[in-house]
Chains A and B, each alone.
Chain A
């Protein structure tokens, strides 16, 4: 217990120099986005002194750019803002629905997908969705920006590749082309205000005849980090994403899952249901792609 300090840099440069100065002074610095995890943790499990560095005022982290080849989503943009972009919702419906699953409407006024990733919970809802749509993390570092695929960002429960002097600026996502769409589903015992027992994100591309030409499947809350499931994607590619392909994708997710038994579910339960979610998310992504 002790003092808390708060800094609100307005640029990447200023944020990096703030982080460097705090590190040099031997202070603990923690990036703050929506605060919907950090504030709760500060009041309950991690009360130690630190300097909060608020990313919400960093200009680059608030950029939203929907280009012809690439989408950039700043790490500080509130989920509610993303949810209001009809264009984003139409091209990345799975990612936006994942963001929309986190917290209530009020919470979404603060919460960010960047914060969700940096919190690095195994159950973070946007993580499998980001992985599925091929998001790359843009990390501000003293030597310039570095880029890390989302599936390589989280290293363990609550840990990630960020150095104490680095922070996440945003995500680069290839703009979906042609009949490409995505979907994310999570399982919770309630309808909202809960944490995923397991989750599955699927992005896929169909050709003119409805045959899947590319797919990426990622599952959450069934291992210490979200997992990419290459076998599930392989089961979908080359098919019309029919029941047999869906069943095979489900089996692939169940097979790869390495869940634990805890108060939210058993190993057996998670293993089975993550397959069910994979199948259902893939069917939704297929139907969305077909409608394009």
Chain B
């Protein structure tokens, strides 16, 4: 692996290629496409959280002025998948805001009028709105035919699936402990809060071929999922990704696309559909509200002897809560000889959850990191020292199976311990909290092509939508590999027909996996350049080296020739075999886990319950920071999202299951003035499975802040408020109860 000192492009901070277009407003996002004769599609959404659909009558809507199409679930024949039922309801509506019908009209106003003319008859059912209610004996069923883990020998249940990890002897482990801490912690359902609402435009031509423009984290997934819902062949759908105004996991599925394609098929016109912010809150996938029980025991010296976690996660209307990652993460940072981890995936009448930055990890780790904080207090140990004492390292077997290669948890903890912010005293009257974060990161499939223009300019084509500066990272890795300057390289995200398959931008995989494909495609170019140079010089390929962006004879090869640059070779490519085109495709293995340590100083106004975050420090292992500014940006953005979730963000429902705060006024993400500067420190323990040592960095940052904030508030108040958010009413109530 290349050492840091050898790197020329990697580790620098050039301007991102999409930066100018974004700051000047030129960049085209999901809703920015306008086509001639375009219709506007709108969705009729369920006014009930749980109801049987008895009938949908579209007659009056179809007859309304300007309306060219009106559809309902009946227009999607065949056995619907959960995805299909989420896109448009069939026999039941399962959450307030569930799509029931859609119309396409010449103007938005005409579409609005038509929605009011659709007649739907419902049989209203009791909504299942909490984990306690869903898991209680005799609970109303969200899905009457669902059995836990598909086991039909047991009665139907709202628990869709369970998961369990076990190691050693839990009881014996707790018996060895001198100190045991046990607690129950709840974290509310939270939305990713991306600024750009979902939007798409679809047009179907006379051959039946559909083109879809949309904002997405994965256009190849949009293609396959849309094809699946419509019963179409994948090859009949082309998806062009727009620039994307945030996703955080929430744009890894589809909502509008099949409806737009269907209505375009019916009308022969392009159909554009955009969500309002309210639609986004009511009908797109947030992350699970959770109920977690955590228990951990240690000897007097702090050595963990046993730990257990019981997790129940809201799935929303269909199975798929992130209990797997929740279970994987909860104890991943530690050596724990005896453990039991159990997860429950539970249906409730809320929107189906979707990925949100390290899906499932913030909730379970909030519970365990709060418990560990209490343990440190009981042991009278520094919270970083306690974690260092038990930190996983190279060779530790993770609770979910694999043995960790080199990881950077210990390095993060040690860096935090000597950070100036940690050495500084806790502000007068405030509190300090520490927590650890983890995300395993993923690899998956990526493709990349590298094309060399006749002047040596490098075009990188890949298929990973850029949500965090990845085009800059791709260009940096290509420049580094080829040995050319950054500004000689331009990276582009191609559509489903102009670039090879890539899985979604998610799982913190893009810089790692697509980056690896880009590096390999560049190595393909280098191999071709050496061959072309050998041909030019009448040498064997093995006699030619590639050094600093030039082909040169290897040391000891007797050839009186001038080095050939990429531009030299490209210019003469016609004489040596044609254009230079490098390719690679892979299913990346060896994604490296990224650990973090966060700490924060907070101060509670004990008369109002308001928590002010005075400082926040994030230390995280990036493996190798390709573009350090974007790594820091990920760390800061994740910290702010985590702080927002800890302090104010939550879905508030009324008794009928209607979300009361479906807008940014009352779903309170932090505003800039709420936040201190988020201080960052990047640790680099290279991932041995990536050519430059890259680990994913995008998700870990949101994991630790929840517990870090809770632990800081605990530090000041002297008692624990176990549930989030630590909103002013909750905090003041807890203080008042305590004071009697």
A: residues with CB less than 8 A from B are 1, 187, 189-195, 197, 262-266, 268-269, 272-273, 276
Contact = CB atoms under 8 A, between A and B. Distances in A.
B729 interface: yes
A193 B728 contact: no
B673 interface: yes
B113 A265 contact: no
A192 to B, nearest CB: 5
Given A190-B674, A272-B736, 5 more contacts: A189-B647, A189-B727, A190-B668, A194-B665, A195-B665
Interface in B606-649: 607-610, 647-648
Given A263-B652, A276-B608, A192 B729 contact: no
A266 B728 CA distance: 10
A269 B665 contact: no
A273 B733 CA distance: 11
A268 B674 contact: no
Interface residues of B, number: 25
A276 B728 contact: no
A272 B671 contact: no
Contact of B610 (A189, A193, A262): A189
A187 B608 contact: yes
Contacts of B729: 265-266, 269
Given A189-B610, A263-B661, A263-B666, A269 B728 contact: yes
Interface string B594-615: 0000000000000111100000
B181 interface: no
B193 to A, nearest CB: 14
Given A263-B661, A276-B607, A193 B732 contact: no
A190 B670 contact: yes
**Most chain A beta-carbon neighbours within 10 Å: one of B652, B661, B673, B732:** B732
Contact of B733 (A263, A264, A268, A276): A268
Contact of A273 (B109, B670, B673, B732): B732
B394 interface: no
B733 A269 contact: yes
Contacts of A268: 733
Nearest to B729: A269
B677 to A, nearest CB: 15
Given A263-B652, A272-B732, A191 B674 contact: yes
B382 interface: no
Contact of A190 (B608, B660, B671, B733): B671
Contact of A1 (B109, B608, B609, B661): B109
Interface of B: 109, 112-113, 607-610, 647-648, 652, 660-661, 665-666, 668, 670-671, 673-674, 727-729, 732-733, 736
Contacts of A192: 671, 673
A189 B671 contact: no
A190 B648 contact: yes
A197 B610 CA distance: 12
Contact of A191 (B607, B661, B671, B732): B671
A188 to B, nearest CB: 9
Contacts of A190: 648, 668, 670-671, 673-674
Nearest to A265: B729
A193 B608 contact: no
A190 B729 CA distance: 13
Nearest to B276: A44
Nearest to A1: B109
A104 B149 CA distance: 51
A272 B729 CA distance: 10
25 contacts: A1-B109, A187-B610, A187-B728, A189-B610, A189-B648, A189-B668, A189-B727, A189-B728, A190-B673, A191-B671, A191-B674, A194-B665, A195-B665, A197-B728, A262-B660, A263-B661, A263-B666, A264-B666, A265-B729, A266-B729, A266-B733, A269-B733, A272-B732, A272-B736, A273-B732
Contacts of A272: 732, 736
A187 B732 CA distance: 13
Nearest to B670: A190
A241 B652 CA distance: 40
5 pairs of A and B residues whose beta carbons are closest in the complex: A191-B673, A269-B729, A276-B607, A263-B660, A263-B652
Nearest to B669: A190
B113 A1 contact: yes
B729 to A, nearest CB: 4
A265 B733 CA distance: 11
A1 B112 contact: yes
A97 B57 CA distance: 54
A256 B666 CA distance: 26
B574 to A, nearest CB: 56
Contacts of A194: 665, 668
A273 B608 contact: yes
A289 to B, nearest CB: 23
A192 B595 CA distance: 33
